[in-house]
């Protein structure tokens, strides 16, 4: 599939080396199709890692996908160079007059403070309100999902006794809903978070439909409004070594952290981690693009 990016985005070379079809602007304009316009609000600290993970996840479709990266105007990223952000990202103020077929709101390392204490919370609320009229379907991931559930439905997060960290099994519900089409009865997915939105509160919210749940990790996937808003509590976009890098980072900082569950062979962090979630991750993003973006978006945005 073709992912359209700026020709000098660093993730482009990595994707091409993985035999993922990436095109630049000059080639895209010669294709007689309307590409899907996808906006990614990247709130993760190391922007380049998340860019690569999400572009990889969006690559398994025959549709042409034109990606725009959005940054917060009210927050300065300390873990990604200003040169990279200024070159490849636009602010909400510059993009808010556009309409998009789909949008992704990522996780963020701010889950241990209240939503209102996050320095860009007011701006994020404005963006989430804007998605109601300017985006066909919005996919919220991890903290982005918790923020969306809080803003749209008033469901607050709760602190966990310890970090939920590892790869967990989830059972599919409501199999006839296209978002989980092609999924096995059980599938694995990574989690890395200190908070949760209780399964009970999600099940009790009449606007939400639960599509996958774990006995250990809680609700993984739910949606509202025929797919207008989709909430993913874990990190299906993570690559093989993301949890490993987080584990080593926390160890070096002296933070309380346990070996990620169901991740290393024999729980030995010196061994190569098992990749157990890629197929269902690809299915999730492909189903989202096909059934909730492409099939329902108007040709003229």
Catalytically active residues are 142, 235, 237
| SS3 track for the chain | CCEECCCCCHHHHHHHHCCCCEECHHHHCCCCCCCEEEEEECCCCCHHHHHHHHHHHCCCCCCCEEEEEEECCCCCCCCCCHHHHHHHEEEHHHHCCCCEEEEEECCCCCCCCCHHHCCCHHHHHHHHHHHHHHEEEEEEECHHHHHHHHHHHCCCCEEEEEEEEEEEEEEECCCCCHHHCCCCCEEEEEEEEEEECCHHHHHHCCCEEEEEEECCCEEEEEEEHHHCEEEECCCCCCCCCHHHHHHHHHHHHCCCCCCCECCCHHHCCCCCCCCCCHHHHHHHHHHHHHHHHHCCCCCCC
């Amino acid at each position: 599939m073709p992912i359209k990016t700026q020709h000098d985005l660093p993730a482009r070379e990595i994707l091409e080396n993985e035999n993922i079809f990436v095109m630049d602007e000059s080639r895209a304009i010669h294709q007689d199709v309307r590409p899907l316009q996808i906006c990614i609000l990247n709130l993760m600290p190391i922007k380049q890692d998340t860019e690569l993970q999400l572009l990889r996840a969006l690559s398994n479709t025959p549709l042409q996908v034109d990606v725009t990266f959005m940054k917060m105007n009210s927050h300065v990223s300390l873990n990604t160079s200003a040169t990279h952000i200024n070159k490849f990202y636009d602010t909400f103020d510059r993009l808010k007059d556009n309409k998009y077929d789909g949008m992704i709101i990522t996780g963020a390392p701010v889950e241990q403070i209240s939503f209102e204490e996050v320095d860009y919370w007011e701006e994020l609320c404005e963006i989430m309100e804007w998605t109601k009229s300017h985006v066909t379907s919005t996919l919220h991931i991890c903290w982005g999902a918790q923020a969306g559930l809080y803003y749209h439905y008033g469901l607050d997060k709760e602190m966990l006794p310890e970090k939920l960290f590892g790869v967990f099994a989830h059972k599919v519900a409501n199999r006839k809903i296209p978002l989980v089409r092609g999924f096995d009865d059980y599938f694995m997915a990574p989690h890395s978070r200190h908070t949760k939105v209780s399964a009970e509160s999600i099940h009790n919210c009449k606007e939400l439909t639960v599509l996958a749940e774990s006995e250990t990790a809680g609700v993984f996937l739910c949606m509202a409004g025929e797919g207008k808003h989709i909430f993913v509590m874990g990190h299906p976009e993570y690559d093989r070594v993301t949890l490993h890098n987080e584990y080593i980072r926390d160890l070096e900082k002296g933070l309380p952290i346990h070996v990620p569950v169901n991740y290393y062979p024999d729980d030995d962090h010196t061994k190569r981690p098992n990749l157990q979630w890629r197929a269902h991750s690809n299915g999730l993003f492909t189903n989202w693009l096909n059934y909730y973006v492409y099939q329902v978006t108007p040709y003229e945005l």
